Amino acid sequence: MSLDLYRNGSIYSAADPFATAMLVDNGTVAWIGSESAAGALLDSRMTEIDLQGALVTPAFVDSHVHLGELGATLAGLDLSAAKSATEILELVAAAAASGAGIIHGFGWDETTFGDRTLPTGEQLENAAPGREIYLSRVDVHSALISPALAGRLGLVPGEEFSGALIHGQSHANLRTSVFTYDASVNAANRDRALAHLASTGHGTVVEMAAEHISGRADLEALLARSEDQEAANPKVYAYWGQVVSAEDEARELLASFASRAVVGLGGDLNVDGSIGSRTALLRGDYNDAPGNRGISYLSVEQISAHVAACSLAKIQASFHVIGDAGLDTVLEGFAKAAETVGIAAVQAGRHRLEHVEMVDDAARTKMLNFSVTASMQPQFDALWGGPEGLYEQRLGAERASGMNAIGRFLSAGVPVTIGSDAPVTNTSPWATVKACLELNDPAARISAKAAFMAHTRSGFRALGESNPLAGQLVTGAEATFAVWQASELAIQTPDVRVSSWSTDARAGTPMLPVLDDELPTCLRTVRAGRTLFDTLNVS
């Protein structure tokens, strides 16, 4: 039996907002209290851990990740700092000189270039003669590919392929071929991603899987790895993005997975694409591409049949949707499903929508009526919102102004859970919380406490977790937590004029790190009493 007494720090717990110590008994929180009480409690059975002023919080839940791609990105060619086509080509040439095989690059964003001209197929060939090259845009909905890769796959220039840039359904089809690694590479990517998430304070992650992302075999291997009793990694839940049309089909598909960690059918079941790649489905033209309104991957009828089937089977459904017209399509599908199986069955399904960035008040009301959860990524707004940002370039100032309105969802009663969409954004949970405090729409901002809850407890609620203590540090809860080095703690709320800080102890509210330029550093991550990551200096 293991008894660990953490003391001389700050414990983020609603049960005791002033707690400085916590006792973990064989993977369960056994006690939370004050430093003086901890001294009286300590005995020879316990391992004493001096926090040296560090903060202990529930571990984060990343509600939307792609582990295989994250692992590949961490090991691949990072293009996020490239500011021109020339810089991309220089990085490709350097990669070609240092190794063999396909060159995988990730993260370029032409909206940050002074000259937004992209490399041509010929230029890619010159940078790495004869090599297959796949360079994903930051939103992973389009990519630059080399003539060698296009030739192997039989691709010819057309509406969705310029000869270098590929998007839409052609890109989705391409990804299946590009990311078909052998089992050893897949395993290395998964392990790399899980270790990275553990090092950033995550105890639980939600994998969005589909055949066009990493395939079923990869998902089943991932879940087997997560459930291995000897594996020290975050707990993995998963959604499988495959459309169904009947109740029996939904039940049989979910039951075909050996792991109960597959909790729903959807996730990256794409209704549309992304704003950056101009494939999100819009009501009006893209501001910088007249005549283009994006792409629709699913019809109202397909959405309706999927929601109805999942509702009858009592299985959670989910869709990737970003554009306003894409959301119109989804909500029309929900309405038709409710006509077929009844509104109560749809509401009981606890269905969810991923990203759901362009939403007006009428759409929020419909989402509330259908009891839909919004699964969102606040760092999208931090990266691409604001004056002259990507959203404004693609959509114009008026349409861009009300995006990623997390606070408006919560005010309307729509539940929100948040994550990273890694590898699209980084896996820094405190950067995500900070983004919620600083959303470009002042009316959409939420407090650090609300953002923290959306990134912890609400993640479990969105999964349908029945344990009411999940995501909390209270007596009797699973000991899943992270230890943080933070310079200062405070109660933080958004303000339309200036950030408002309060450290008044009389508030009785647990305090969170001050999120200025230096974000907290993870020192230890623990899941159910098992240490996943550790740099805590314990003498």
Strands of the sheet containing 21-25, edge to edge, are: 28-33, 21-25, 3-7, 47-50
Q: Are 31 and 19 contacting, i.e. CB atoms less than 8 angstroms apart?
A: no
Q: Over the range 506-537, which residues count as b (16 or more CB within 10 Å of their CB) and which as e?
A: eeeebbbbbbeeebbbbbbbbbebbebbbebe
Q: Say what the pLDDT of residue 244 is.
A: 98
Could you read off the pLDDT of 183-238 as tens digits, one per residue? 888 889 999 999 999 999 999 999 999 988 888 999 999 998 888 766 789 999 99
- Which residue pairs from 386-394 have beta carbons closer than 8 angstroms and sit at least 24 positions apart in sequence? 386/440, 389/111, 389/440, 390/109, 390/111, 390/275, 390/276, 391/275, 393/111, 393/287, 393/288, 394/275, 394/276, 394/278, 394/286, 394/287, 394/288, 394/289
Contact 89, 123 (CB under 8 A): yes
| Distance in angstroms (rounded) separating the CA atoms of residues 416 and 454 | 6
pLDDT band at 495 (very low <50, low <70, confident <90, very high): low
- Per DSSP, 110 falls in state G
Q: How far apart are CA 105 and CA 89, in angstroms?
A: 11
Per DSSP (E only), the strands in 311-460 are 316-321, 352-355, 373-376, 416-418
How far apart are the C-alpha atoms of 179 and 51, rounded to whole Å?
43
Q: What are the DSSP calls for 400-418, one per residue?
A: HTT-S-HHHHHHHT--EEE
- Give the tens place of pLDDT for each residue, 153-181: 999 999 899 999 999 889 888 887 777 66
Q: Are 382 and 424 in contact (CB under 8 A)?
A: no
pLDDT tens digit sequence for 297-308: 999 999 999 999
Average pLDDT over residues 411-415: 97
The alpha carbon of residue 54 and the mean position of all alpha carbons in its chain are separated, in whole angstroms, by: 26
- Average pLDDT, integer, range 101-114: 90
What is the sign of the dihedral through the CA atoms of 282, 284, 289 and 293? positive
At 362, give phi and psi (nearest 5°). -65, -40
Sorting pLDDT into bands at 50, 70 and 90, what band is 499? Answer: very low
Sorting pLDDT into bands at 50, 70 and 90, what band is 507? low
Instruction: Give whole-number Cα distances, 60 to 230, 425, 483, in Å.
Output: 21, 16, 11
Q: Cβ atoms within 10 A of the Cβ of 214, count?
A: 28
C-alpha distances in Å from residue 158, one per residue of 115, 145, 164, 195: 24, 14, 11, 41
CA separation for the pair 231, 235 (Å, rounded):
10
**Which domains does the chain carry?**
3-53+473-534 (2.30.40.10), 68-178 (3.10.310.70), 265-462 (3.20.20.140)
Query: Using one digit for the tens of pLDDT, what is the confidence trace for 335-376?
Result: 999 999 999 999 999 999 999 999 999 999 999 999 999 999
Copy the structure tokens of residue 110.
Answer: 């032409």
Within 10 angstroms of residue 154's Cβ, the number of other Cβ atoms is 6
